[in-house]
């Protein structure tokens, strides 16, 4: 999932503009614009790196040039050098915070995703995907979805227009499950999948019978999920439907869900509540002015 460079740059410029206003009055008053600088971004704690392309693009937009020995998805230890950059010292100073803000957040999302994906990989049996949701921070959906993918997770729906997800609120207004699936099938492109939210085993089975592609088991206990899955197997419906569990799942209680028989576990917290990874940028004059 990669924005075209030209399109990405427009987004990144708006981030720079947000921080800069009319300029960096500190740097502009102190730093001779002809001084060349050298900068290193160091990661101060272990984590999974995401946002390299974006950070390097920010540097380039600012007239600097950066390189990295890493690639997105790499696991790093505390103290690892992530990016080295050169360019006008004043440009490095101006882009510093924006680049770090994006890199640290994306790495935070990738890190928590990666942890959960590893947990999922350890368990036996049918593989389970860790997915994010549409619970992303406003304006950052692309960056967070991409970070989830870098962390090994599934990006789920990108927007309200790329798959059908019939939720509790829809059913409350629009009628029964089968009727809703039929309507959606008729009106929505054949290129779209249809997912339906179920809160009980009964609803889940009704959904599967009605021909949904995916059922979202919302806020169901792991044991209820297990029973539902077993029932679907018994009815010969299991291979026709993807099972997704969601609602109240955290790092602390994910284990039970991982062995509940679902195909996907989706969690809002990996995007909306990810802790930023701590990194810092060290900038020096390339001619070593200060001693």
Contacts (CB under 8 A) with its own copies, residues 13-52 = 13-32, 35, 37
Q: Does 195 bind its own copies (CB under 8 A)?
A: yes
Given strand 279-285, what is the order of strands in its sheet? Answer: 65-67, 80-88, 36-43, 279-285
Of 54, 115, 195, 197, the catalytic one is 195
In whole angstroms, give the CA distance from residue 154 to residue 200. Answer: 24
* Burial classification of residue 94, based on how many CB atoms lie within 10 Å of its CB (0-12 exposed, 13-18 middle, 19 or more buried): buried
Stretch that binds its own copies, among 76-84, 204-212, 225-233, 260-268 (CB under 8 A): 260-268
The answer to whether 195 is a known catalytic residue is: yes
CA distance 151 to 74: 9
Footprint on residues 58-77 left by its own copies (CB under 8 A):
61-63
Contact in structure between 10 and 55 (CB atoms under 8 Å):
no
Q: Which is nearer to its own copies, 154 or 229 (CB)?
A: 154
Residue listed under structure tokens 């915070």:
97
**Closest CB to its own copies among 122 and 159?**
159
Q: Give the dihedral sign, CA 11/17/19/25.
A: positive
Is there binding between residue 116 and its own copies (CB under 8 A)?
no
Taking CB under 8 A as the criterion, the residue among 41, 43, 49, 140 binding its own copies is 140
184 binds its own copies (CB under 8 A): yes
Q: Is 223 in the site for its own copies (CB under 8 A)?
A: no
Count of residues in contact with its own copies, rule CB under 8 A: 116
């Amino acid at each position: 999932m990669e924005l075209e460079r030209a399109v990405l740059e427009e987004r990144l410029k708006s981030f720079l503009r947000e921080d800069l206003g009319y300029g960096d009055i500190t740097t502009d008053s102190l730093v001779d614009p002809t001084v060349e600088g050298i900068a290193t971004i160091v990661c101060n704690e272990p984590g999974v790196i995401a946002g390299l392309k974006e950070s390097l693009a920010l540097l380039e937009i600012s007239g600097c040039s950066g390189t990295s020995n890493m690639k997105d998805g790499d696991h790093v230890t505390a103290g690892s050098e992530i990016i080295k950059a050169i360019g006008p010292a004043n440009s490095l100073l101006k882009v510093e915070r924006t680049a770090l803000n994006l890199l640290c957040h994306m790495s935070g999302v990738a890190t928590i995703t990666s942890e959960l994906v590893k947990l999922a990989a350890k368990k036996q049996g049918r593989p389970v995907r860790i997915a994010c949701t549409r619970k992303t921070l406003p304006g950052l959906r692309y960056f967070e979805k991409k970070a989830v993918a870098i962390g090994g997770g599934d990006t789920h729906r990108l927007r309200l227009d790329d798959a059908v997800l019939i939720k509790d609120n829809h059913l409350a207004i629009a009628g029964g499950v089968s009727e809703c699936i039929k309507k959606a099938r008729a009106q929505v492109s054949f290129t779209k999948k249809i997912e339906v939210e179920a809160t009980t085993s009964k609803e889940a089975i009704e959904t599967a019978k009605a021909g949904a592609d995916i059922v979202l088991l919302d806020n169901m206990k792991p044991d209820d999920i297990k029973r539902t899955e077993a029932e679907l197997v018994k009815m010969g419906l299991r291979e026709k439907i993807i099972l997704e569990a969601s609602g109240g799942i955290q790092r602390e209680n994910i284990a039970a869900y991982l062995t509940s028989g679902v195909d996907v576990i989706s969690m809002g917290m990996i995007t909306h509540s990810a802790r930023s990874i701590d990194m810092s940028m060290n900038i020096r004059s390339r001619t070593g002015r200060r001693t």
